[in-house]
Amino acid sequence: SLPVALVFLLVLLFVAGAGFKLHHKDCNSSVSRASEVSEDSVAMPRKLLRVAVHRTEAREPEKPSSGGSALPRGIVQATSDLEMVSMVGDPEQQGGSRPSKSLLAIPVGIKNKAAVDKLVSKFPADRFTVMLFHYDGAGEEQWGDLEWSRRAVHVSALGQTKWWFAKRFLHPDVVAAYDYVFLWDEDVEVDAFDPLRYLDIVKREGLEISQPALDRRSEIHHGITTRALLRPGAEGGGDVHRRFYKPAAGWGGGGCDDSSTGPPCAGWVEIMVPVFSRAAWRCSWGMVQNDLVHAWGLDYKLGHCAQGDRTLKVGVVDSEYVLHRGVPTLGGTEGKAAAFRVAVRRRSFAEMQIFNRRWKEAAADDASWTDPYPYTSSQIC
């Protein structure tokens, strides 16, 4: 029995060894085949390899570039201007360095063409770019006989206001090239006004938001806008005044004195002929509401955009003044003009209430913001 058992044991060892060798050979074959596939992949044509890689990457989510944007940082031109550009020639040679300029933007109707011509002609072409907002449907072709019309930018939208145009076409990134933005009404006479002298005074006085004083013959809504040299008891005799004085009107005050720090006694201009620095306009544009087209109430908050103390950075320039004729321009047909103006005034007042409500809600919702100009009794709104 011993030899039989020994033979059986030897048979088992042979079979096991054969099985081990067979399994080991299979593993080697697998490794060999994998190696062969890898070598074949390396030997693939480069074009096919790039296609394979591209298909793999296409299945992955898009990753931002190192600059956190879809574009390389150096190619981004975030700002623009309103200057005319030739369709021929070398653009890099044509660009070059340009003189410092400001922007004059005016809403216009064809009925006031002569007055607008006189107004725009006061602004030197080499120092000012002109933009006309046509609210009556009369476009560039009806203004083309004026010398400066071809260099002006014309935008037309029937029945829209100055602030509607400004919100849509004077984005701060578009007008970033201009030192100052003059956003004026069209019914202004400029016989006593020189824009270059005006800007010299504004820069010297450090005014970020300003307006020319109004000739006393003007339609005047707030005393602070009247030319100080002609107003008894007012600050000055100089080129600029920044506050207005008047006695308290009856019980409850309401006057303007040296302690007054807010509109309409100090730090305030009206919205008929405002002038903004580049930084002040960027801030102010953001405050203009898209759906509130008359901007009533906005003037009381412009001081927040004065880049500092509004009692110092906001002022009225007396030595360069204008005459505001107060002519109703944007209106209905002749027979319905009076009723339309009443409706406009009603809408304007409603907009002021809406703007004030939005301001209060925004101030309450933003816990990180502190109003540097809390409400005072001198503010009449």
Q: Is the pLDDT of residue 59 over 80?
A: no
pLDDT at 52: 36
- Residue appearing with tokens 């040296």: 258
Q: Return the CATH superfamily for domain 99-245+260-329.
A: Spore Coat Polysaccharide Biosynthesis Protein SpsA; Chain A (3.90.550.10)
* Residue whose C-alpha is closest to residue 260's, from 294, 235, 297: 235
Residue 108: what are its φ and ψ, rounded to 5°? Answer: -135, 150
Residue range 91-142, pLDDT digits in tens: 877 766 677 899 999 999 999 999 999 999 999 999 999 999 999 989 889 9
DSSP string, 142-169: GTTTSTTGGGSEEEE-TT--HHHHHHHH
Q: Of residues 55 and 370, which shows the higher confidence score?
A: 370
What pTM, to 2 d.p., does this model score? 0.77
Residue range 212-270, pLDDT digits in tens: 999 998 888 888 999 985 444 444 457 999 999 988 765 445 789 998 889 999 999 99
- Residue appearing with tokens 């006057």: 255
Please give the share of the chain, as a percent, with pLDDT higher than 90.
58
Q: What number is the average pLDDT over the span 335-362?
A: 91
pLDDT at 233: 46
pLDDT at 110: 96
pLDDT at 243: 93
Q: Give whole-number Cα distances, 182 to 101, 123, 234, in Å.
A: 11, 11, 26
Question: Cα torsion for 150, 155, 156, 157, to the nearest 10°?
Answer: -170
* Residue whose C-alpha is closest to residue 136's, from 83, 186, 181, 82: 186
Q: What number is the average pLDDT over the span 263-282?
A: 96
- Binned at pLDDT 50, 70 and 90, residue 62 comes out as very low
- Dist. CA 320–CA 240, nearest whole Å: 9
pLDDT at 17: 53
The residue extents of the domains of the chain are: 99-245+260-329
Q: How many helices (H) and strands (E) would you count in the chain?
A: 9, 9
- Read off the amino acid at residue 145: D
How far does Cα 282 stand from its chain's mean position? 5
Q: Is the pLDDT of residue 143 over 70?
A: yes
Contact (CB, 8 A) for 242 and 266: yes
Element (H, E) at 354: helix 337-365
Which of 29-38, 125-134, 154-163, 291-300 has the lowest average pLDDT?
Answer: 29-38
